[in-house]
Amino acid sequence: MSGKTEQDGEDMRLELEDINMDDLEDTAFLNGYASQGKQQGKKLSWTRFVIRKIGLLVEVAGIFKVVIILGSIFLIALVMLAIVNREDNSLPEKLPRKSTEKARKVVEQLKNTAIPSFVLTYAPIIILDRKETFFPSDLSIHLANTQPTYNFTPISNSLSPLNLSNLNQLNEFRNGDVYLSSREPIVHLPKWLRGQKPNKKTLQTKKSINCVVVVVEKYPVKDKAENNQHSVVDAFYLYFYSFNDGPRGLGHQVGNHVGDWEHNMIRFTNGTPSAIWYSQHGFGAAYTYDAVQKIGGRPVVFSARGSHSNWPEAKAHDFHVIYKRIPPHIAYDYTSVGHLWDPTLSALFYTYNSTNTTFSQSIPDEETHSRSNGTYIPAKSSMPTGFLYFNGKWGDQQLKPGDEGQEEIRGFYKWTSGPKGIGWGDKDVLRDTICPKVLYSNGIPSTVKEGEKNAIRECVIKDSL
């Protein structure tokens, strides 16, 4: 009996081994099981679909939540940054004590000279932009880092070393058709171009001469209404920077050059300031003395970042106002209440005597010079005069097309020639009005001058900012 049972179990095992997976699949989808299998499959598919969608929604919601959080953090950061970097352009009520003490010493040193005390009492205070990187530069350091060139070639047998006393001897070469070119490639912006930042407490650039003050006493002006004469004095405050960092716009930069002379002129009537001139890119603007801002009675001059043009307000100044050919909102001069500088603490002082009794009525250009028959007389014998008579350019010659770093956009070039010095063009020290005689076309490239007015710019003295 037991033997038969064992035989039956063995037969069943063999039968099961003969059944394969195909047989099971066929059996599952026979008519008895087909509809039931389909229904179960549909239920499973819908279940999986719903689960996937729910998971996707959860995932999207999570991402959206993260985006909202990150966006909120970004906006908060921007607001905080704006608060931290918010420009406070309010002026200090007074100058630092150490600065005023030094200013009094300068007045005392010039007490027995031809420089009137009111020229110092009302001298401008320069406010450099808070992001300025090219500061007032020592004239002697500038000469030490340049060499005289003509047509990009160093002039042989030139004086060495050049200094403020002998610089005018370069006029013997082609009547001074000379460029003071950097010994290092200017496109690499050598360190000496950076100048010297004024000290916060003294407002002085220590051991640095970067300002020239020229006093021109006019012939007495007769007031017919009052039947008396007025003494008129023009005081020129000229500031020197070794580099002009030109304006930027539309991804380009134009107007870089080595050497940069800027100036203010204050006209005094009977020792009282009546009007002030602000130089700006070859011309400028005039204001009544009462109209401009002051610190301690001294007029405030905002020096634009990089270009150092002079403005009476701290804000963005559209170049379109200066050159109508430049579309509005493209390039700006930026000024802000940054580094205060008293240029008279690092200045040389002169009076200018001219034998001219009348002003020239000829139309000037950028090469017009006013010093004929005139002499610069130093306030002190130790103050050099040779550099004041130099006829050449205070920087490199404009780079040629194709030179490293040179770019051109609509006739304006990135690297241009350095300027001439005191007495030339808009730096004319002989003026009948407070404004220099400057053509409308001055400062505009010759390639785009066509159609510009061949006339002198109008002189308007504004009575408000």
The yes-or-no verdict on residue 81 having pLDDT over 60 is no
Instruction: Give the residue with greater pLDDT, 249 vs 31.
Output: 249
How far CA 354 is from CA of 38, 113, 371, in Å, comes to 113, 19, 8
Instruction: Output the pLDDT for position 258.
Output: 99
Per-domain boundaries in the chain: 20-86, 99-462
**With bands split at pLDDT 50, 70 and 90, how would you rate the model's confidence at 35?**
low
How high is the pLDDT of residue 160? Answer: 81
- pLDDT of the residue at 141: 98
pLDDT tens across 352-407, in order? 998 654 555 555 555 655 555 689 999 999 999 999 999 999 999 999 999 999 99
| Digit-coded pLDDT (tens) for 229-258 | 889 999 999 999 999 999 998 899 999 999
pLDDT recorded at residue 84: 43
Q: Report the range out of 17-21, 272-276, 366-370 with the highest average pLDDT.
A: 272-276
Q: What's the chain's average pLDDT?
A: 86
Where is pLDDT greater, at 448 or 208? 208
CA 159 to chain CA centroid, Å, is 34
Note the pLDDT tens digit of each residue in 418-434.
Answer: 999 999 989 999 999 99
Q: Which helix (H) or strand (E) holds 243?
A: strand 232-244
Residue 261: name the closest of 431, 423, 434, 443 by CA: 423
Phi-psi region of 329 (alpha: psi -120 to 50; beta: other; left: phi over 0): left
Report pLDDT for 410. 83
Degrees to nearest 5, angle at CA 53 with 48 and 56: 125
pLDDT at site 279: 98
Going by the DSSP 8-state scheme, the letter that residue 456 receives in this structure is B
pLDDT-derived band at 439 (thresholds 50, 70, 90) equals confident
